[in-house]
Structure 1
Amino acid sequence: LGQPVVIDNKAGVNGNIGAQEVMKAPADGYKLYVGNGSMTIAAHVYTQIGIVDMRQMVPIGNMLQSALVLAVPASSPIKTYAEFVEHVKAKAKTGKSIDYGTGGVGALPHVTTELLRERLGKPPMNHIPYKGSSPAITDLIGGRLDAMFDATSVVAPFIKGGQLRALLVTSDKRIPAFPDVPTAAEVGLKDFNIVSFIGLYGPPNLPADVVKKANAALNAALKDPTVTKNILDRGDEPGGGTPEHLGNLTRTHYKTWGEVVKANNIKAD
């Protein structure tokens, strides 16, 4: 873009604080929003606090995709997804449940686990939400949790460091960062291709010429070898493409996860 870019991290409710600010910003392209797929879930989970509907923002371009990994502690006797399912069902027969953690209620790992529970016939699985992924990962490594889903970029250092064991990835193909970890389809979980995304958005009424310029700059950055390597090393996949692609992705996620949230009665307020 030929000018400095200032990153202003506005944490809170899966990114809603920052989204609210950008929604009110002038439509001149000087204030944009980097949002993730969890915002499309938050709109259904938080019903009392005015979550921004991402479909009302102007899509500019997809930055990256990130699959989820189902992980267990390295000390766990569970070595495969089949053994995980066997463990869950064995616990259920005795009236007990496994404990799984997430970085918060309504985040993608939470609704993904509930979708898996639905596929398994809804055995008891106790959800323990944390304030962010870090404390949940710490408890998983320590064996205080049985398992958890989280983004590839979050669990990658701990899998490579031997502290966690990956049972599956939710992408449609194996991830270069974890070539030995099977996909959900490979372990028998059909139609379980779950990928989050991070996209660049603008406020409503952002002019088409501004969208075009920002999209071109984003696609150029994603072709930089250093940027590509950094994304792949995290276990993610570089994005790119048109504003229309991001718009379709946003609407699809909004609809899909809305149905899962409703079916499992997931609420955060």
Structure 2
Amino acid sequence: MPIAPPVSLSRRSALQLGLGGLGAGLLPGLTLAQGAWPNKSVTLVVGYPPGGQTDFAGRILTAGMQNNLGQPVVIDNKAGVNGNIATDYVLKSAPDGYRLLVGNGSNMVLNPHTYRNTAVADPLKMTPIGLLLTSSLMLVVPASLPVKDVDAFIAWVKQQDKEGKAVDYASGGPGSLVQTAMELFRERIGKPKMSHVPYKGSAPAMTDLIAGRVPAMFDASSVVAPFLKSGQLKALMATGPKRVPAFPDVPTATEKGIKNFEVISFIGLYGPPGLSPDIVKKVNTAMNTALKDAAVQKTIADRGDDAGGGTPEQLAALTKNYYDLLGKVVKDNDIRAE
């Protein structure tokens, strides 16, 4: 990845970047839809199995979007290669607006950098439509770990390093946003030694984290929320630009004095290259209308996520900012997905 400036990863910073330098791949093309659009069902392709955060982000909006568009909006789960199968499928689809991608920080940001031996789709060729939701990451530890806050955790990690030990941390798999966030965190606190323990998914990682077999992990607030509410885990810090409404007592990294460490998990809606501005506008309007529904907003907030919204240009800027910034972390720490 290109070397990124030491700036915050907040949404505000991302949006200020605009579209400059993004490349033609992220600009809507000039291909015109034939006839009135849509005149049949629209498919939202998800690169992960049902039940996860990315699937939820698309599924929660289908009813509202189809009411606005006047045609069915359906989910098609095409899991595999950390979302790359779905990305490639939509990338190669006709730019007619009937196949759209629900993309996240893995297949739209990390995959091109973490896969060294597997050809992956270039996400910057996709047409951004709009942001669906965001989620702060949270640093969580077992309830039994004797640290009361992130300051105590950092002190413990550094003391272990001085004694020649490396504190383990879990992730749902190599090359993930969770691993990348922890490596960035490690950089920001002085690079004490830590050891990555990858699992085959968040569920088994959470099981071992709760049991105390591994002492720390970052994950999206919506993923860890049930375990925080049950008292099985405790949250030391949130990584977003503001506190998570569902957990208002958990401070942000910025509040704890950790500079240039704002990371969000984001999910957006993208189309294939060359998607016409007219279709982009119609889908963006349907998406924003669906996100304004009070019941939708409550469901998203209750999970610990934040509803998205906004313009295609804002999603384009957010995607490119994370592509550059996290790409540098991947390169500097030799993070690999395979």
Q: Please, what TM-score do these two structures have when normalized by structure 2?
A: 0.78
The amino acid across from 2:236 in the alignment is L
Deviation of 1:26 (Å)? 1.2
User: Partner residue of 1:133?
Assistant: 202
Q: CA-atom RMSD, angstroms?
A: 1.0
The 1-side partners of 2:114 and 2:161 are apart by 27
Quick check: 1:172 aligned with 2:238?
Answer: no
Deviation of 1:121 (Å)? 2.4
The 2-side partners of 1:183 and 1:254 are apart by 22
Q: Please, what TM-score do these two structures have when normalized by structure 1?
A: 0.97
Deviation of 1:48 (Å)? 2.0
User: Partner residue of 1:21?
Assistant: 89
Deviation of 1:136 (Å)? 0.4
User: Partner residue of 1:92?
Assistant: 161
User: Partner residue of 2:262?
Assistant: 193
For residues 192-234 of structure 1, the C-alpha deviation after alignment (integer angstroms, 9 at most, x for no partner) is 1111210000111111111111000000000000110111111
Q: Conserved in 1, the CA contact under 8 Å of 2:168 and 2:195?
A: yes
Q: Conserved in 2, the CA contact under 8 Å of 1:38 and 1:196?
A: no
The amino acid across from 2:105 in the alignment is G
| Pairs within 5 Å for 1:1-269 | 1-39=69-107, 40-269=109-338
**Structure 1 alignment gaps of length 5 or more:** none
Deviation of 1:120 (Å)? 2.4
The 2-side partners of 1:181 and 1:238 are apart by 20
The 2-side partners of 1:179 and 1:118 are apart by 26
The 2-side partners of 1:4 and 1:130 are apart by 37
Q: What's the secondary structure of 1:65's corresponding residue?
A: strand
Q: What's the secondary structure of 2:255's corresponding residue?
A: helix
Q: What's the secondary structure of 1:198's corresponding residue?
A: strand
For residues 165-207 of structure 1, the C-alpha deviation after alignment (integer angstroms, 9 at most, x for no partner) is 0000001111110011011111121221111210000111111
The amino acid across from 1:49 in the alignment is T
Number of equivalenced pairs: 269
Q: What's the secondary structure of 1:153's corresponding residue?
A: helix
Deviation of 1:268 (Å)? 2.5
Q: Conserved in 1, the CA contact under 8 Å of 2:188 and 2:261?
A: no
For residues 124-179 of structure 1, the C-alpha deviation after alignment (integer angstroms, 9 at most, x for no partner) is 21101111111101110000111000001100111011110000000111111001
The 2-side partners of 1:192 and 1:123 are apart by 16
Q: Conserved in 2, the CA contact under 8 Å of 1:70 and 1:150?
A: yes
Deviation of 1:22 (Å)? 0.6
Q: Conserved in 1, the CA contact under 8 Å of 2:142 and 2:215?
A: yes
The amino acid across from 2:122 in the alignment is D
Deviation of 1:30 (Å)? 0.8
Q: What's the secondary structure of 1:32's corresponding residue?
A: strand
The 2-side partners of 1:135 and 1:242 are apart by 37
The 2-side partners of 1:218 and 1:99 are apart by 40
